[in-house]
């Protein structure tokens, strides 16, 4: 049940990793891979022998995900971008699968979380500073991410779909906190600080039917024009951000909750059921009612390979 190099690399590529060239591997290579999905996240557990690899650059169109690698045991050195990370047990590093990277590793085990890039909301300038940089997994938010990554890789199959979505959101939030902490003591620009504060305000008040650009601007003592200007270089306008986050809350609650579409829509600020249903289908491609009776576990794929065995949103609105 141990995989040779060719089969192992095929499985790795199928899980969303870039093509790898392993300079140390030969006929004696043995590796293990297990893949599990947790909501929008993919968790890939790997056990590998001593390795020295080059990850080839991928087309930018394949760059939907970023990768957070968490060490379980062993040691790895990874170079990507301007980063050069020496990782020990529990440490983690952020990688961009579209960029070339190099690593050297002892026999090791690690968990990689593939995170949709849009979920982390990291600006390109910050991403360049974080790629390939070691994050200490022994304390602080890095330790929480490290523990959750390893535990989620073991227990993801035990979640119902609604639980998986909420758990994935918590994991993403902790990853974002760990990455922000790693950026150091740099003080954010005033506009960035205010925008982050407003985003948190929106998140806490999604169930308020009166939540709107005018009410948000008034609560922060700024004009509506100033509010819109703060978000002009963001993926979503203020109104579209409110709509997206409300839809995400509705989708999570409808999955296996047993509540009616009308009740859930009203709870999250959609007073017109017909408009909500139309908006939901336009966003996700299926009817909201399809989730009411849903109680399925997230898709799971676990494969151990061995010798001789085959082993959205639509932008700013």
| pLDDT tens profile 52-62 | 887 766 554 45
| CATH match of 191-291 with 1.10.10.60 | yes
Q: What percent of the chain has pLDDT over 90?
A: 26
Residues of the chain with CATH 1.10.10.60: 191-291
Residues of the chain with CATH 2.60.120.10: 5-184
Quick check: 106 and 46 in contact, CB under 8 A?
A: no
Cα–Cα dist 98/96, whole Å: 5
pLDDT (average), residues 203-232? 91
| 215 conformational bin, left if phi > 0, alpha if psi -120 to 50, beta if neither | alpha
Question: H or E stretch including 73?
Answer: strand 65-73
Nearest CA to 43 among 180, 182, 172?
172
| pLDDT tens profile 240-263 | 999 999 998 888 888 766 778 898
What's the confidence (pLDDT) of residue 98?
83
Which structure tokens are listed for 307?
């010798």
Single pTM value for the model: 0.56
Of 3.40.190.10, 2.160.20.10, 2.60.120.10, 3.40.50.970, which CATH number belongs to 5-184? Answer: 2.60.120.10
**DSSP secondary structure letter of residue 133:** -
């Amino acid at each position: 049940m141990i995989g040779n190099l060719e089969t192992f690399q095929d499985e790795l590529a199928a899980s969303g990793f870039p093509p790898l060239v392993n300079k140390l591997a030969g006929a004696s290579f043995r590796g293990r891979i297990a893949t599990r999905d947790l909501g929008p996240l993919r968790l890939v557990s790997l056990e590998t022998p001593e390795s020295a690899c080059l990850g080839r650059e991928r087309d930018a169109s394949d760059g939907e995900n970023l990768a957070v690698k968490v060490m379980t045991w062993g040691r790895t050195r990874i170079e990507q971008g301007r980063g050069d990370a020496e990782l020990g047990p529990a440490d983690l590093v952020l990688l961009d699968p579209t960029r070339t990277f190099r690593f050297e590793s002892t026999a090791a085990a690690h968990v990689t979380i593939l995170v949709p890039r849009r979920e982390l909301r990291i600006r390109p300038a910050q991403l360049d500073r974080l790629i390939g940089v070691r994050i200490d997994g022994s304390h602080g938010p890095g330790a929480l991410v490290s523990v959750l990554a390893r535990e989620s890789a073991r227990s993801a199959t035990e979640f119902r779909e609604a639980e998986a979505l909420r758990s994935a959101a918590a994991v993403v939030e902790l990853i974002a906190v760990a990455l922000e902490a790693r950026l150091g003591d740099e003080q954010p620009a005033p506009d960035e600080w205010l925008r982050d504060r407003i985003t948190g305000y929106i998140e806490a008040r999604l169930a308020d039917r009166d939540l709107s650009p005018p009410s948000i601007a008034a609560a922060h003592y700024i004009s509506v024009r100033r509010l819109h200007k703060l978000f002009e270089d963001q993926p979503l306008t203020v109104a579209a951000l409110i709509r997206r986050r409300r839809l995400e809350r509705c989708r999570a609650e409808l999955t296996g909750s047993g509540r009616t579409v009308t009740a859930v829509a009203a709870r999250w600020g959609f007073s017109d059921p017909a408009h909500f249903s139309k908006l939901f289908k336009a966003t996700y491609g299926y009817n909201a009612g399809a989730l009411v009776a849903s109680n399925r576990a997230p898709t799971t794929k676990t494969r151990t390979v061995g010798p001789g065995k085959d082993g959205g949103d639509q932008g700013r609105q």
